[in-house]
């Protein structure tokens, strides 16, 4: 363990500057808990938060890329025409759109990519049709889980009634 891990609440233990404190048992452990460290790590891997102390940055970068590739593969199953329209550029394009952004699930992940490309005028007609079909089926505000359009919900409500 190294000194910069002790960043956190101020301690009462006198520590010479630059040295790591090995706390005697009567003092509270100054190191972050496992729960804190795990939360820091997940945040760094999926939200773009800064890397927790002590980790090899290049290995965390490789892990971030691997997580994005896995997400791209899962999203491709929901958006086959979109993914096929990009071919080998699917995973890199997906990573550029989603790096630092946590997933709302593979359906939303692909939806975000489709909308980004439409905004740039880069959707092929097949992929545009796939996006139109999704937009007509469900309402997705880019923030939360897609849900049926209000008219569809009302229709169902009336049918039930």
Partner 1 sequence: MAELLHGAGIGWRPEIAGVVAHLPALRFCEVIAEALAPATPPRGVAELRERGVAVIPHGVRLSLGGAEPLLAARVTHLAACAAAVGAPLVSEHVSFVRAGGREAGHLLPLPRTREALDVLTANVRRTQSELDVPLALEPIAALFDWPENEFTEPDFLTELLERTGALLLLDVANVHANAVNRGQDARAVIDRMPLDRVAYLHMAGGAERDGLYHDTHTDPVPEPVMALLRHAVSRMPGPPAVMLERDGSYPPAAQLEAEFTAVATTAGHSRESGPTCERVAL
CB of 108 to partner 1, least distance (A): 13
From CA 145, how far away is CA 87, in angstroms rounded?
A: 27
* Beta carbons within 10 angstroms of residue 79's beta carbon: 24
Identify the sign of the CA torsion 123, 124, 125, 129.
negative
- Nearer to partner 1 among residue 72 and residue 82 (C-beta): 72
Task: Give phi and psi for 74, each to the nearest 5.
Answer: -70, -40
CB of 132 to partner 1, least distance (A): 27
- Nearer to partner 1 among residue 91 and residue 131 (C-beta): 91
CB of 125 to partner 1, least distance (A): 27
Query: To 5 degrees, how large is the angle CA 104–CA 106–CA 108?
Result: 55
- Nearer to partner 1 among residue 69 and residue 115 (C-beta): 69
- Nearer to partner 1 among residue 73 and residue 92 (C-beta): 73
- Least Cα distance to 91 among 102, 83, 100, 103 occurs for 83
**Which residues would be at the binding site for partner 1 (CB under 8 A)?**
1-2, 33-35, 37-43, 45-47, 53-56, 59-60, 62-63, 66-67, 70-71, 73, 102-103
Helix 57-78 and helix 90-98, axial crossing angle in degrees, nearest 10: 110
CB of 50 to partner 1, least distance (A): 14
């Amino acid at each position: 363990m190294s000194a910069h891990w002790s960043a956190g609440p101020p301690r009462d233990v006198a520590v010479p500057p630059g040295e790591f404190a090995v706390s005697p048992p009567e003092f509270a452990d100054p190191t972050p808990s496992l729960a804190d460290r795990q939360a820091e790590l997940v945040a760094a891997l999926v939200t773009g938060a800064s890397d927790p102390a002590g980790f090899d940055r290049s290995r965390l970068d490789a892990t971030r890329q691997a997580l994005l590739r896995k997400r791209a593969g899962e999203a491709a199953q929901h958006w086959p025409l979109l993914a096929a329209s990009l071919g080998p550029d699917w995973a890199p394009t997906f990573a550029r759109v989603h790096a630092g952004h946590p997933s709302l699930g593979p359906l939303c992940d692909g939806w975000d990519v489709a909308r980004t490309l439409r905004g740039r005028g880069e959707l092929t007609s097949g992929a545009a049709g796939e996006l139109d079909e999704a937009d007509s089926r469900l309402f997705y505000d880019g923030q939360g889980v897609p849900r049926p359009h209000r008219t569809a919900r009302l229709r169902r409500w009336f049918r039930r009634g």
